[in-house]
Amino acid sequence: MTLSTKKQPIGVFDSGIGGLIALRKLAELLPEEDLLYLGDTARVPYGNRSAQTIIQYAQECTRFLLDRSVKHILVACNTITAVALGHVRQIVPPAIRIIDVIQPAVDVVMREKYQRIGVIGTRTTIQSGSYELEIQRRHSEYPITVHTQACPLLVPIIEEGWETHVATEAIVTTYLSAIQQAGVQALILGCTHYSFLAKTIQKILPDVHLIDSGAEAAKVVAQNFLTQPLQVSPERKIECYLTDLTQDRAQQFLGFPVVIQKAEFGGFS
Ligand code: DGL
């Protein structure tokens, strides 16, 4: 059994604050591990941008994590997973494992044998057809019907802190109406930001199992590390970087004290 002498953090990144849910879950599941978060709050939302721009941003965020010697990367963003995952892989050394958010959510569908599911996400994620493709790739023994809905207003609403605003429930109800009529058994929150609206979504679809893509991905990362030897230092460090510091709710979402620092890279120094 080899113990590493230098503690390397697990890196997590997202276009904004959505990935904090995955970070919180990781902090809970892996109390010994150092964690490093990057939220690109200066350029959020990614979901309405071109694939080329998302690829460029995703690679810049990845380099930021690599420069800080992360040992594992959780891409806590469905939009990046949908259009830029292969490009992230291209710049990451093979020794560093990358976990995305789409496969773990589909794992839940397969495990629970759901036959009618809904997927909500950004316009880019939904247009990419990534969830349908991942489901096809698994060759299920029974047909799985997938109802998708792009919800482009939801990321800005969440970044603005409007989760409990009266207008938000009306918007979410409108977005979910076709999925509600389809009588799905489960709904994938195919955007990590949407966890912040889980209560509202559950109120509209009380009998539907909500699958949180960020939290499910965090569980997969945790499984990879729980089977590995513990590292030397019992002290853990959680670092949180944002490319724009106007977002002051990160602390509140995490539920534990963390210093939020300004990320210096690309056009953000
Ligand atoms: N949290 C990101 C996702 O999972 C939001 C993307 C965006 O910035 O629009 O897709």
CB 71 within 8 A of CB 86: no
Q: Is the pLDDT of residue 136 over 90?
A: yes
Condensed to tens digits (0 to 9), the pLDDT of residues 121-130 reads 999 999 999 9
- Stretch 87-105: mean pLDDT, rounded? 97
Q: What is the pLDDT of residue 129?
A: 98
Q: What is the pLDDT of residue 268?
A: 57
Q: Is 61 a catalytic residue?
A: no
Q: Are strands 72-75 and 10-14 parallel, antiparallel or unpaired?
A: parallel
CB 79 within 8 A of CB 124: yes
Q: What is the pLDDT of residue 102?
A: 98
Ordered by where they begin, the domains of the chain are 10-100+216-268 (3.40.50.1860), 102-214 (3.40.50.1860)
> What CA–CA distance (Å, rounded) separates 220 from 213?
11
Q: What distance in angstroms lies between residue 142's CA and the mean position of ligand 1's atoms?
A: 30
Least confidently predicted of 23-27, 139-143, 225-229: 225-229
Q: What distance in angstroms lies between residue 164's CA and the mean position of ligand 1's atoms?
A: 19
119 DSSP β-pair partners: 148, 188
Q: What is the pLDDT of residue 234?
A: 59
Q: If you ran DSSP here, which 8-state letter would residue 111 be given? A: H
Active-site option among 61, 151, 191, 240: 191
CB 127 within 8 A of CB 229: no
Q: Using a 6 Å cutoff on CB, does residue 193 contact ligand 1? A: yes
Residue 254 has which token pair?
């995490």
Q: Using a 6 Å cutoff on CB, does residue 78 contact ligand 1? A: yes
- Stretch 250-269: mean pLDDT, rounded? 77
Q: Is the pLDDT of residue 269 over 70?
A: no
pLDDT band for 4, please (50, 70, 90 cuts). very low
Condensed to tens digits (0 to 9), the pLDDT of residues 157-191 reads 998 889 999 999 999 999 999 999 999 999 999 99
> What CA–CA distance (Å, rounded) separates 186 from 111?
12
- Stretch 62-67: mean pLDDT, rounded? 98
Q: Is 77 a catalytic residue?
A: yes
pLDDT band for 227, please (50, 70, 90 cuts). low
CB 178 within 8 A of CB 147: yes
Q: In terms of residues, how long is the chain?
A: 269
Q: What is the pLDDT of residue 224?
A: 86
Q: Which atom of ligand 1 is nearest to the CA of 76?
A: 4
Give 159-198 as a DSSP string. HTT-TT-HHHHHHHHHHHHHHHHTT-SEEEE-SGGGGGGH
Q: Using a 6 Å cutoff on CB, does residue 46 contact ligand 1? A: yes
Q: Which atom of ligand 1 is nearest to the CA of 121?
A: 10
Q: What distance in angstroms lies between residue 14's CA and the mean position of ligand 1's atoms?
A: 7
Q: What is the residue-averaged pLDDT of the chain?
A: 91
Q: Is the pLDDT of residue 228 over 60?
A: no
> What CA–CA distance (Å, rounded) separates 35 from 89?
20
Q: Using a 6 Å cutoff on CB, does residue 215 contact ligand 1? A: no
Residue 243 has which token pair?
């490319």
